[in-house]
Amino acid sequence: MIGLSTLLFVPLLTALLVAIARSDRQVKLLSVFGAVVQLALVLYLFNAYSAIRETGDQHQWLFEEQYKLFPSLGISYHLGVDGIAISMLILTALVVLSGLLISWKQQVMVKEYYLLLILLSLGAYGFFMSLDLLLLFFFLEIAVIPKYLLIGIWGSGKKSYSANKLALMLMAGSALVLIGILGLYFAGGRTFDLTSLANAEIIGRKQLIFFPFIFIGFGVFTALFPFHTWVPDGHSSAPTAGSMFLAGISMKLGGYGCLRVAIWLMPEAAREYSTAIIILASIGILYGAFVTLMQKDLKYMNAYSSISHCGFVLLALGMLTKTAVVGAVMQMVSHGLMTALFFAVIGIIYERTHTRQMNEMGGLLKPMPFTVALLFIAGLCSLGLPGFSGFVAEMTIFVGAWQRDEVFYHTATVLACASIVVTAVYILRAIGKTAMGPTPAQFSEIGDANWTEKIAVLILVAGILAMGLMPNWLTTLIGPDAELIIQKINNSR
């Protein structure tokens, strides 16, 4: 059996080999090869995990590794995965490989650029596998610093402003998380171990104090209203792979943290604050949708739409039903794949047209049929067309939300459903202005995506279709662990 530490060792080894590589081509080949190995390891873990679950093994955490680091302080190197973590690892592996491939044309400081992307992937893998809160926080911080450098050095537009804003907002969120973690440490018997804290009796009043710190802190990462303002600036200024990693992976760290740390460890507080979570999520969904409707820049459109789509995750978490939690995880996977695809396609278009303004485009279907076809797929997934991942994720959330049989919850669900209409308007308008109509003379001879770009986007499309056409493998993976979380919440009454 391959241990979870191997999944951390591979990007570390890849980074070391990239650091001593002698040419840009070697840097790119080594980085992509490392990403392929990571994807193979994740798929191996998925198959091994599924095989163990089929035997009837009811242990929540599998493939655990634990080594005491500072026993007197309750700090350990503790890794483990459940179905929810495995689904996040699959998302990470797909987006990492796609992002590295889409960067094949990078020519400025290539080695440093790829090293930062690899460091981002290391932080994400470690975060999703950590069962020690201090270790989890360590990997969270690893995933923050490269974002600042990627935007500040290789970004475009107001890159310095965007990089500083992103770093300040995310560091503020991290500070809140750290305060909450320290509170749990002292309230839970002076241990950072996640499994021990889950079994500890943390008095309800203490939960009410620590929960907002952790939920809001992680919420900043996942565009919780009104702490979302870094999202459009960060996404719009980041290089293409940076945007893919930021929206496809980094924003999922927040959703996963809200579920795994805040809700799972503090179920009583989760019930008490559920109404506030649902209100903020509903505002974020509608606000994000209507502001997206006003955007004329493709990248800003996708960035603002992420606020709305991530609002669905928070809405589902606030509903506290098994189906809604399953939908929240599915939405994280779906949005990660879909928004990474969107940013990849926008990057391909921008590289050839040198504009992101929809009003300056038109008729791109003729010179760029493959790329525009992928733009159609990303857009239809975003608006929830059946057959794509967006549909199954959002429908699962709506069904789970409607199970809360009170007027307040039904109203929030209806408002969230109404946002789909707005989504359809801005997606179809964007596709129409970009792809349809006469082709401007300056764009008539531009080329389509090259082979590395095609492979990169097809990897993401494969994930979207695998989830949209055959969602059972994912719901089966997530369902048992979502049920354990809801049982813990119900038992805490």
pLDDT of residue 87: 93
* Per-position DSSP letters for 453-465, written without gaps between them: HHHHHHHHHHHHH
Q: What is the Cα–Cα distance from 196 to 46, expressed in whole angstroms? A: 25
Tokens describing residue 242 = 């940076």
The letter for the amino acid at 112 is E
Q: What is the Cα–Cα distance from 270 to 355, expressed in whole angstroms? A: 45
Compute φ and ψ for 63, nearest 5 degrees. 60, 35
* DSSP one-letter code for 71: G
| Beta carbons of 182 and 269 less than 8 angstroms apart | no
Closest by CA position to 173, among listed 215, 136, 220, 140: 220
pLDDT of residue 458: 94
pLDDT of residue 493: 62
Q: What is the Cα–Cα distance from 310 to 254, expressed in whole angstroms? A: 10
pLDDT of residue 21: 86
pLDDT of residue 492: 66
Report the C-alpha dihedral over residues 299, 304, 305, 309, rounded to 10 degrees: 130
The letter for the amino acid at 336 is G
pLDDT of residue 213: 93
pLDDT of residue 361: 83
Q: Look up the pTM and report it.
A: 0.93
Q: What is the Cα–Cα distance from 220 to 69, expressed in whole angstroms? A: 30
Which residues are CB-neighbours of 236 under 8 A, at least 6 positions away?
A: 157, 162, 297, 299, 300, 303
- Angle at the Cα of 412 from the Cα atoms of 407 and 417, rounded to 5 degrees: 125
Which residues are CB-neighbours of 148 under 8 A, at least 6 positions away?
A: 163, 164, 166, 167
Closest by CA position to 468, among listed 379, 391, 395: 391
For tokens 């009003």, the residue is 359
Q: What is the Cα–Cα distance from 345 to 244, expressed in whole angstroms? A: 10
Q: What is the Cα–Cα distance from 463 to 247, expressed in whole angstroms? A: 16
Closest by CA position to 478, among listed 314, 323, 261: 323
Q: CA distances (Å), 269 to each of 178, 193, 211, 320, 326, in order?
A: 18, 20, 6, 12, 20
pLDDT of residue 57: 66
pLDDT of residue 92: 94
* Per-position DSSP letters for 229-284, written without gaps between them: THHHHHHHHS-HHHHHHIIIIIHHHHHHHIIIIIIHH-HHHHHHHHHHHHHHHHHH
Name residue 65's beta-bridge partners.
79
| Beta carbons of 323 and 399 less than 8 angstroms apart | yes
| Beta carbons of 309 and 64 less than 8 angstroms apart | no
Q: What is the Cα–Cα distance from 15 to 24, expressed in whole angstroms? A: 14
Tokens describing residue 35 = 């990403």
State which residues of the chain have pLDDT below 50: none
- Angle at the Cα of 386 from the Cα atoms of 383 and 391, rounded to 5 degrees: 55
pLDDT of residue 445: 78
Q: What is the Cα–Cα distance from 127 to 254, expressed in whole angstroms? A: 10
* DSSP one-letter code for 78: E
pLDDT of residue 14: 92
| Beta carbons of 215 and 277 less than 8 angstroms apart | yes
Count CA within 13 A, CB hemisphere, residue 188. Answer: 23
* Per-position DSSP letters for 153-188, written without gaps between them: HH--SSHHHHHHHHHHHHHHHHHHHHHHHHHHHHHT
**Chain Cα centroid distance, residue 138:** 18
SS3 113: helix
Q: How far apart are the first and last CA of the chain?
A: 40
Q: CA distances (Å), 285 to each of 204, 228, 263, 477, in order?
A: 30, 11, 21, 27
Q: pLDDT, tens digit, for every residue of 432-467?
A: 888 887 888 787 778 888 889 899 999 999 999 999
Closest by CA position to 313, among listed 271, 282, 272: 282
Closest by CA position to 293, among listed 161, 145, 201, 428: 428
Q: What is the Cα–Cα distance from 19 to 111, expressed in whole angstroms? A: 7
| Beta carbons of 390 and 382 less than 8 angstroms apart | yes
pLDDT of residue 97: 93
